[in-house]
Each structure stands twice: as structure tokens, then as C-alpha cells.
Amino acid sequence: MTNTMRAVGLAIALLVGGKSFAADPAAIERGKYLTTIGICSGCHTPTDQSGKRIEAMRFAGGGKAGGLNTPNLTPDPETGLGKWTEDQIVEALRNGKRPDGGPVRPPMGVFFYRALSDSDARAIAAYLLSLPPVSNKVERSASTAPLPTYEPVTHVAEPNRADKLAYGEYIGKTVAHCLQCHTPRVNGLPDLSRAGGGGNSYNAPGGGSVVAANITPGNADGIAKWTDDQLKAVITKGVRPDGSHLVGVMEFDRYAAFTPEDLDMLVGFLRSLKPVAMK
């Protein structure tokens, strides 16, 4: 075999194994967008004593979610993802498996991220690996909660942007995982037969608790009576048409990053949800 043949063979092997996006600025930009509307840093960032996120430590882990410590997602080799390949990060996102074989447990949203397309999952991985490394050792939490089991995902095709409803579902359900908070759970996982019906309770930042609302067309006092523009203002500014403000569990500051087209398609998806009659 000549050297050229070997080089071609190697190039093909790399392509088949999954092309690295590390040096692709467009992919990294896409990854940045997806992690913003996917509110990854909402959980993967530590908070100070008043509960405010420490933005200088964005993605550096050490936050709490569902009782588990959130890992450091910056590429620090000792305390973060520095030794992980893009493929290993994709595997953690879509199949909930770490390189050491350990599980990635809920509330990390593998249930929804499983549907990330190959190139979007890889763009997210490339973006995380492009971040400045932050050294922050986070202990992996112990947990005895039963683990969800999933059919392994190896390939997810690109969603078709021309199919507005399907793409709105992809943006809202898969990436922004709106239904993770807004769907009642059975055995710890969302009960999609009541997708968007609401009902989960969260600690409110100022104390007390707040319930994630019903965001299906079955909510006559909410989404059903709001215009598209009003609904968009709730999602991206946290202000309802009556002037009341959401308390801040929902990360509307991150959702403000939705592109206008994606937001349109997201609204179309919410309006297509089966009406659920939950209060």
C-alpha cells in the first residue's frame, strides 16, 4: 500500500468514525446556540450563597440538580471533560453512558437529548471542548434511585427545518426540553401521554415553591388565550400578558437567545400539543 492510499484509508476511517468538529467555527457556534437554549449551564454552574449563579464559573459544574452534583463540563483534563472525545460526550448525552461505564443519571435530560441529531450532538461536544478549561473538582454524587433504561441510539438524522412542526418539536422538546419540567412524571420520567400538562413543583428562588404551568392548549387561563406574541414574551422575557412575572425557575433569559424562526416553530409545536386538562 502506498502512503497516499494509507492516507486516503485513514481519512475515510475518520469520516466513518464521525468527523471531528473541533476546528469548525460554524459547528462551534451552533453548539453554543444549542447549549444556550438547552440551558446546560443552568445546572452545570455553581451558585453563590444567595442562589445566584457564579457566571465566571459557567459550565464548571458544582451546581445541584435533583440532589446530584453537576459535573464540570469545561475541558479541564483533571476535573472536567478534557480527556473525553467528542464521541464520548455524544454517548453521555444520548445514551447516558460515561467513558468509565458509569451512568449519567436524571435529572440530566438524556430522556430528551437522545433525539439530538448526530451533527447537533457533536456540535455541542465541540463547543464544550472549545471552552476555556476551569479547574473545579466536583465529587460524583452517590444515588440509589433506580436507573432508567434506554434503547441505545447510534444514529439520528438531521431534523428537516422545512417541516415546521417537526422542527418546532425538535427545538422545544429535544433541545430546550420544555417538557422536562412541564410534564408530570411517573417513576421519575416524564409521562408523555400528558406532555406539557405541568404539575411539577420547584423551589422558587425567593423561597417557597412554584408549579410548572400547563403549557398545552388545555390551559384556558394561559397559553390558550394568549396570542403568539404574548406567548413569546412569556417564554423569552418571563412576563405574562397581565404584567405578572415568572419567578425565575424557568430560564427565560437563556430562551431570549431563540432565533425568531425557531421561536415561531416552537410556538407552533406548543399549540399542537394534545390539550391536557390539568390545573
- Contact residues for ligand HEC, defined by CB under 6 A: 35, 38-40, 42-44, 65, 68, 70-71, 73, 89, 92-93, 98, 103-105, 107-109, 124, 140-141, 172, 176-178, 180-182, 202, 210, 212-213, 215, 219, 222-223, 234-235, 240, 246-247, 249-250, 255, 270
Q: Of how many residues is the chain composed? A: 279
Please tell me the distance from the alpha carbon of residue 174 to that of residue 68, in angstroms, as a whole number: 22
Q: Which of 201, 209, 206, 221 is nearest to 277 (CA)?
A: 221
Least distance in angstroms from the C-beta of 21 to ligand HEC = 14
Least distance in angstroms from the C-beta of 151 to ligand HEC = 19
Least distance in angstroms from the C-beta of 1 to ligand HEC = 38
Residue 79 makes CB contacts below 8 A (sequence gap 6+) with: 61, 72, 135, 136, 137, 138
Q: Which of 132, 146, 157 is nearest to 185 (CA)?
A: 146
Q: HSE of 199 in the Cβ direction (CA atoms, 13 Å)?
A: 15
Look up residue 193 and give its three cell numbers.
401521554
Residue 186 makes CB contacts below 8 A (sequence gap 6+) with: none
Q: Which of 177, 270, 144 is nearest to 216 (CA)?
A: 270
Q: Toward ligand HEC, which CB reaches closer, 6 or 279?
A: 279
Contact 169, 155 (CB under 8 A): no
Q: Toward ligand HEC, which CB reaches closer, 19 or 32?
A: 32
Q: Toward ligand HEC, which CB reaches closer, 3 or 189?
A: 189
Least distance in angstroms from the C-beta of 25 to ligand HEC = 19
Q: Toward ligand HEC, which CB reaches closer, 24 or 211?
A: 211
Least distance in angstroms from the C-beta of 20 to ligand HEC = 17
Q: Toward ligand HEC, which CB reaches closer, 9 or 51?
A: 51
